[in-house]
């Protein structure tokens, strides 16, 4: 915290319209927070300009060339010393258990190289919450464990362009539209070891009617994202988000567990 302002780090890959909504919300006092850095995995992300215009420190971690470089000359020396392949492989849940180990190894090692760089670039800017605003890279357990140091409250948030758990992946609005859904939406969630699987913080929905196209669906969705993300960040800033483990009977005498978010009253 900076006084009573929550320090927010933001990662982007693209236009940064969500970043802009967060900048504006901090400015207007809708979020009791301040953005302390904006990082990107691509140097030409238009959102970087929005950050610079607002005098927010920026940096780039060029994932593409880091991964290519590791592919060309894979060397144990490039992988961070504190990276443990077995641990990362057993924790991650983006890939099916029968995924070829060679592929998994390359994925986790090359990402750890990029993520170690990312952690280094973030280090000069202490933050309370890390917000993914259109950051198009999966974060692996190596990175997540080094950010989520307090086990009781995760601190990486993401916004996804669909009503999760429907349509995880990179094109939520497109997938929603092509499936013929009559309702679409967006979801803010904490990041866990899977792809778009973490505990849900908030969701907004909109109707899809006969006149809609992929483009109008995207516009309707983004408009809701710009409201929803600042609201969820403000709940975090107010200390109103708690995670709890729920156990449900799953038939056959088995039970299944899921960590969910509870929004508590102020000061509770
Ligand atoms: C948004 O639709 C967000 O849900 C998704 O990527 C898009 C980013 O848009 N994760 P922008 O860069 O914030 O304009």
Q: What is the mean pLDDT of residues 144-159?
A: 95
What size, in residues, is the chain?
268
pLDDT at 252: 81
Q: Residue 180: helix, strand or coil by DSSP?
A: coil
Return d(Cα 83, Cα 188) in angstroms, integer.
Answer: 29
CA-nearest of 66, 16, 21, 38 to 226 is: 21
Which residues in 137-146 are b (16+ Cβ under 10 Å) and which e? bbbbbbbbee
d(CA 47, CA 233): 19
Query: Which residues are bridge partners to 2 per DSSP?
Result: 5
Domain ranges of the chain: 160-268
151, with CB counted inside 10 A (0-12, 13-18, 19+), is exposed
Instruction: Give the model confidence (pLDDT) of 193-221 as tens digits.
Output: 999 999 999 999 999 999 999 999 999 99
Q: pLDDT tens digits, residue range 106-123?
A: 999 999 999 999 999 999
Supply the mean pLDDT for the chain: 96
Model confidence at 173, pLDDT cuts 50, 70, 90, reads very high
Phi-psi region of 252 (alpha: psi -120 to 50; beta: other; left: phi over 0): left
Atom of ligand 1 nearest to the CA of 46: 12
SS3 29: coil
Phi, psi of 191 (to 5 degrees): -90, 130
Q: In ligand 1, which atom is closest to the CA atom of 16?
A: 12
Structure-token pair, residue 81? 């010393």
Q: Of 204, 231, 176, 254, which is closest to residue 32 (Cα–Cα)?
A: 231
CB-based contact 160:153 (threshold 8 Å): no
For residue 191, what pLDDT band results from cuts at 50, 70 and 90?
very high
Question: Can 160 be counted among the known catalytic residues?
Answer: yes
Q: Which CATH superfamily is domain 160-268 in?
A: Formyl transferase, N-terminal domain (3.40.50.170)
Percent of the chain predicted with pLDDT > 90: 90
Distance CA 131, CA 191 (A): 10
pLDDT at 102 over 90: yes
Bridge partners (DSSP) of residue 19 are none
Residue predicted with more confidence, 1 or 95: 95
The one catalytic residue in 160, 204, 218, 220 is: 160
154 lines ligand 1 (CB under 6 A): no
- Position 2 scores a pLDDT of 67
Q: What DSSP designation does 182 have?
A: S
Instruction: Supply the pLDDT for residue 238.
Output: 97
Does the CB atom of residue 141 touch ligand 1 within 6 A?
no
């Amino acid at each position: 915290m900076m006084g009573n302002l929550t320090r927010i780090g933001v990662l982007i890959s693209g236009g940064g319209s969500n970043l802009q909504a967060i900048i504006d919300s901090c400015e207007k006092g809708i979020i009791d927070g301040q953005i302390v850095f904006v990082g990107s995995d691509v140097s030409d992300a238009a959102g970087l300009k929005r950050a610079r215009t607002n005098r927010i420190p920026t940096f780039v971690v060029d994932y593409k060339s880091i991964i290519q470089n590791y592919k060309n000359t894979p060397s144990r020396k490039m992988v961070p010393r504190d990276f443990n392949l077995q641990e990362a492989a057993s924790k991650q849940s983006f890939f099916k258990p029968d995924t070829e180990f060679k592929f998994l190894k390359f994925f986790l090692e090359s990402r750890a190289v990029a993520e170690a760089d990312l952690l280094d670039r973030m280090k000069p800017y202490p933050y309370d919450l890390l917000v993914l605003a259109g950051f198009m890279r999966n974060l692996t357990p190596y990175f997540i464990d080094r950010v989520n140091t307090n086990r009781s409250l995760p601190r990486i948030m993401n916004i996804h362009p669909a009503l999760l758990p429907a349509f995880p992946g990179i094109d939520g609005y497109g997938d929603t539209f092509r499936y013929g859904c009559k309702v679409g939406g967006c979801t803010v969630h904490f990041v866990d070891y899977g792809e778009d699987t973490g505990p849900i913080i908030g969701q907004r929905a909109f109707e899809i009617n006969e006149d809609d196209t992929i483009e109008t669906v995207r516009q309707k969705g983004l408009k809701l994202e710009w409201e929803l993300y600042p609201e969820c960040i403000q709940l975090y800033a107010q200390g109103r988000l708690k995670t709890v483990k729920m156990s449900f009977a799953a038939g056959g005498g088995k039970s299944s567990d899921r960590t969910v978010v509870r929004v508590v009253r102020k000061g509770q």
